[in-house]
Structure 1
Amino acid sequence: MRVMRTTLVRRFGGPEVLEIATVADPEPGPGQVRVRVAGAAVNKIDISTRNGALAQAGLLAPAPQTYLGWDVSGQVDALGPGASRFTSGDAVVGLRDVLSAGGTQADYVVLDESAVAPAPTTVSLVEAAALPLMALTADRSLRLAGLHRGQTVLVTGAGGGVGGVVLQLAALRGIRTIAVADDERLVRDLGATDFVPRKVFSPAAVRRLAPGGVDAVIDAAVVGVPAHEALRGGGTFVALVAPFAPPPLRATTVIVQEVFADGGRLAELAALVDAGRITLRIQETLPLADIAVAHELTAKGGLRGKLVLSPGLLP
């Protein structure tokens, strides 16, 4: 029996509860592929998984252990019965479904082939791990906002991973963006039309740029009610975290964005990376053994890009 390393927690708490355990290699079932992991990004949802916030919110089923990691890059290693979209050795990216048995911060992971897409070729395979969760979240958030060319969206957390991709996708679609962030140069480079410094953010500051209010808000920074107050009557508010979604007031629509594994759309987003339309920002690549360090740095904040864990199995 072949074994591999995987990251997990058996109880909730700080970084000290993180474990790297040895388990049997997963076998792909019907319509699945096994991926030898090149990189697995560390996201804020990993922190919420580890510290029990997801479980407390009822978003994590009780289990003796909880595996970590959502998005992944690597090479297809084995095919399950009926899997035909990929061949062994293909470079891919993918997103784990919430019901998947194992996490991506491991040596190998099994995914439905519908959750997998060809990896972008203009960045390293390890760096490509930053794409799936971030880009699919940004893309779906912008689609749910329901905007047309020329309309305006307020993006909080615009300097972060999701917010930055929202800016780039909005620019492609001719949508005006008002970015709330710390670094004006960064968000302008990502395509922001207008800028409000995070430290002086207020609904009034936004309404000076968009009299009457913005058409939509994508609340990547989980600002909540103050961001909603910058929205026009009848506008759309897209929340990324359900417990912090504001109530719909003034005939607004409040939508909680829930990302899901979509290999078809992920392939289109990977193509935008290769076309230079989406920029992947990587802070640092760390070995799998440094998962606790990655959690500490992510929780501290202030990163200029993603942290990516790499098991180091690929040549």
Structure 2
Amino acid sequence: MRAIGLYEHGTPEVLHTVDLPQPRPGRGELRIRVQAAAVNPTDTVLRSGQRDLSGQPLPLVPGMDVAGVLEEIGPGTDTGLRIGDAVMGIVVPRGSHGAYSEQLVLPAESVTAAPRGSGPVEASTLPMNGLTARLALDTLGLDPGSVLAVTGAAGAMGGYAVQLAKADGLTVVADASETDEELVAALGADAVLPRGADFAAHVLERFPEGVDGAVDGAMLHEAVVPAVRQDGTVITIRGYDESSERGVRFQPVLVVDYARERQKLDTLRQQAEDGVVSLRVASSLPAEQAAEAHRRLEAGGVRGRLVLTF
């Protein structure tokens, strides 16, 4: 089968078409014919070598989001899905097991039906970022009526955090550049404030006692702390966990903790069907143009997800 992988870390040009054996599902697993795989910052981190992946078999195949058609059910697998169903899933990449593949075997708990009314390109944008946002909010555990700050709100994970927080009954204050203000407001943010290092100061103008918690998709880290009330929590990505002031705690989240939370993924599917969350696609490209997708993502300014098609 065809996949997009790399034998050495580097610039986007290290991504090439590779030929791999077709995987077969074992007990508790499903095989998906992949039609679309979203491109995420975690993929560029893997490709560029910012994470130590020594010891993993080559080629490395990136990708954490897929959508396609269920083609095979492993023996003894408990699933309500049927062969031929349109599905989406979250991938925990390791070695040559990654989403940029024509065929992929996943645990049944990592797969659910694709949202009705969406194609595979749209469906592939939901699992990883949607589950990351869900995990962030579940970790905070804020009560309805609490105030949440979201940085990086125009991005995929940040946008889902805004929408899911509103569905949870939270008041949301979010950041945006001038060109993204309309987008972030349309996602449901109650207050849209200028992005950047001064975000906390702008938050305190609206909420002098600070917000109850924050989801820091923009990785402002210490710069967002003044906006959070004493003993509050800032959810971080990419493992950031440092000491802070006034008892404010940094709490990193890793979506792999929700990679087998099928019910939570299926709830996201339902919320997409109900219009609670938006499936945002920047553009789609043939899988062979993965290098170009990585270049575009790293150049910045992408709103919605770039998606590779097979």
TM over 0.5: yes
Give the counterpart letter for 2:72 in structure 1.
Answer: A
Q: Quick one: distance in 2 between partners of 1:60 and 1:116? A: 28
Aligned to 2:187: 190
Supply the distance in 2 between the matched residues of 1:52 and 1:100 (Cα, whole angstroms): 13
Inter-CA distance 202–274: structure 2 relative to 1 (3 Å threshold): closer
2:114 match = 119
Looking at structure 2, the residues matched to 40 and 237 of structure 1 have their Cα atoms a distance apart, in angstroms, of 30
Residue of structure 2 in register with 1:294 after alignment: 293
Aligned partner of 1:71: which letter?
A: D
Identity %: 35
> Shift of the alpha carbon at 1:61?
5.0
Shift of residue 195, structure 1, vs aligned partner: 1.4
Distance, in Å, in 1 between the alignment partners of 2:307 and 2:42 is 14
Task: Determine helix, strand or coil for the equivalent of 2:185.
Answer: helix
Residues 1-315 of structure 1 aligned to structure 2 (within 5 Å): 4-55=1-52, 62-85=56-79, 86-98=81-93, 102-182=97-177, 183-199=180-196, 201-242=198-239, 244-260=240-256, 261=259, 262-311=261-310
Cα offset, 1:245, TM superposition: 3.5
Question: Does the 8 A contact of 2:153 with 2:184 survive in 1?
Answer: yes
Partners of 2:303 and 2:143 lie apart in 1 by 30
User: What's the offset of the Cα at 1:98?
Assistant: 4.5
How many Å separate the matches in 1 of 2:101 and 2:93?
Answer: 16
Structure-2 separation of matches of 1:115 and 1:199: 35
CA distance in 2, matches of 1:238, 1:177: 15
Q: Given that residues 35 and 108 in structure 1 are in contact (C-alpha distance below 8 angstroms), is that contact kept between their aligned partners in structure 2?
A: yes
Cα shift at 1:199: 4.6
Pairwise CA RMSD: 1.5
Query: In the alignment, residue 172 of structure 2 is paired with which amino acid?
Result: T
Alpha-carbon distance between aligned partners in 2 of 1:105 and 1:16, rounded to the nearest angstrom: 15
CA contact (8 A) 1:31 1:113 kept: yes
Q: Aligned with 1:67: secondary structure?
A: coil
Letter in 1 for 2:254: E
Equivalent-residue separation in structure 1 for 2:174 and 2:54 (angstroms): 32
Letter in 2 for 1:126: V
* Aligned residues between the structures: 304
Secondary structure of the corresponding residue to residue 283 of structure 2? strand
Unmatched 5+ residue regions in structure 1?
none
- Cα distance in 2 for residues equivalent to 1:91 and 1:60: 35
Tell whether the 8 Å contact from 1:38 to 1:126 is kept in structure 2 after alignment.
Answer: yes
Q: Give the Cα–Cα distance (whole angstroms) in 1 for the partners of residues 57 and 213 of structure 2.
A: 38
CA deviations 1:189-227 (Å, max 9, x no partner) are 101011111157342211111112111010001111001
The alpha-carbon deviation at position 7 of structure 1 amounts to 1.3
Length-normalised TM-score, structure 1: 0.92
Amino acid aligned to 1:171 = K
Query: Could you tell me whether the CA contact under 8 Å between 1:94 and 1:263 is conserved in 2?
Result: no
Task: Report SS of the residue matched to 1:48.
Answer: helix
Question: Which amino acid is 2:191 matched to?
Answer: D
Q: Match of 1:298, SS?
A: helix
1:100 Cα shift?
7.7
Return 5+ residue gaps in structure 2 as ranges. Answer: none
Distance (whole Å) between structure 2 residues aligned to residue 21 and residue 197 of structure 1? 44
d(CA) in 2 for partners of 1:60, 1:91: 35
Take 2:132 and 2:111, find their aligned partners in 1: how far apart are those partners?
Answer: 16
Q: What TM-score do the two structures reach when normalised by structure 2?
A: 0.94
Q: Distance in 2 between matches of 1:72 and 1:60?
A: 25
